[in-house]
Amino acid sequence: MQAAVSRWAPVVAWATLIFVLSSIPDLSTGLGGWDLVLRKIAHAAEYAVLGALLVRALHRSRLSFVIGVAYAASDEFHQTFVTGRAGTVLDVGVDAVGVALGVALAIRSRWVDFRRGAAQGGR
């Protein structure tokens, strides 16, 4: 039980943070054209972390990707109900790229040993 909590608590905490940030009506930086670029980078980065955390919890890269993208789609749907926000297919695509990067980085760093299905401590 403790192992499951230690694997899943970071996923739940990060998904909660994403939800909270998505609930904020306006996240504009006031930097004009750079605002769009910075928001897309932030989207990809937050979902890269989610992808890596999912790999750590699941030890399955494809399933981690699918769950990460499904969460991105649900988050964009959630944003359609937030005043001043809009859920877009483009953002789901940016998020999916982020999830893929996070999954790839988790695998590349050998954070998870897929042969044994166990997380590698500190790697």
- The pLDDT tens digits for 24-69 are 887 666 777 787 788 889 889 999 999 999 999 999 999 999 999 9
Closest CA to 59 of 121, 123, 119: 119
Tell me: pLDDT of 9 over 80: yes
Tell me how far apart the alpha carbons of residues 93 and 86 are, in angstroms, rounded to a whole number.
Answer: 14
Q: Work out how many domains the chain is built from and give that number.
A: 1
CA trace torsion 71, 12, 24, 93 (10° rounding):
-20
Output phi, psi for 30, to 5 deg: 80, 15
pTM of the model: 0.84
Cβ pair 40, 94 in contact under 8 A: yes
* Enclosing domain of residue 28: 2-119
Whether the CA torsion 11, 70, 66, 39 is positive or negative: it is negative
